[in-house]
């Protein structure tokens, strides 16, 4: 699996971008990841599913319900 090469990385446990403070993956992160995984698009889906799994753990550790938008945020944009 490729490791992401982008300045726009998530700050854990909030999963907001460290650079622009928007929910991660932000638009620049999506563009960078899409370019990086262009030759192996299935890898992008696998990577994003794994980080969504991590996000669920982080975002629910304080007893909060799982955010409803996680699929759209992490996977719906992956082609």
Give DSSP secondary structure letters for 5-71: --S--EETTTTEETTT-SBSSPHHHHHHHHHHTTT-HHHHHHHHHHHHHHHHHHHTTTSPPPPTTHH
SS3 77: coil
Give the pTM. Answer: 0.86
The fraction of the chain above a pLDDT of 70, given in percent, is 95
Is the residue at 6 inside a domain?
Answer: no
Question: And the tokens for 63?
Answer: 């007893």
SS3 72: helix
Is the residue at 37 inside a domain?
Answer: yes
Q: How far apart are CA 1 and CA 77, in angstroms?
A: 19
Average pLDDT along the chain: 91
Q: How far apart are CA 39 and CA 79, in angstroms?
A: 12
Is the residue at 54 inside a domain?
Answer: yes
Is the residue at 5 inside a domain?
Answer: no
Q: What is the pLDDT of residue 57?
A: 93
Tell me the pLDDT tens digit for each residue of 37-65: 999 999 999 999 999 999 999 999 877 78
For the chain, what is the domain count?
Answer: 1
Is the residue at 48 inside a domain?
Answer: yes
Is the residue at 79 inside a domain?
Answer: no
Domain housing 53? 23-74
Q: What is the pLDDT of residue 3?
A: 57
Is the residue at 17 inside a domain?
Answer: no
């Amino acid at each position: 699996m490729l490791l992401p090469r982008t300045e726009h990385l998530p700050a854990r446990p909030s999963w907001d971008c460290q650079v622009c403070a928007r929910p991660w993956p932000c638009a620049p992160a999506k563009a960078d990841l899409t370019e990086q995984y262009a030759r192996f698009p299935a890898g992008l889906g696998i990577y994003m599913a794994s980080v969504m799994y991590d996000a669920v753990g982080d975002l629910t550790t304080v007893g909060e319900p799982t955010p409803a938008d996680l699929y759209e945020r992490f996977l719906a944009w992956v082609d």
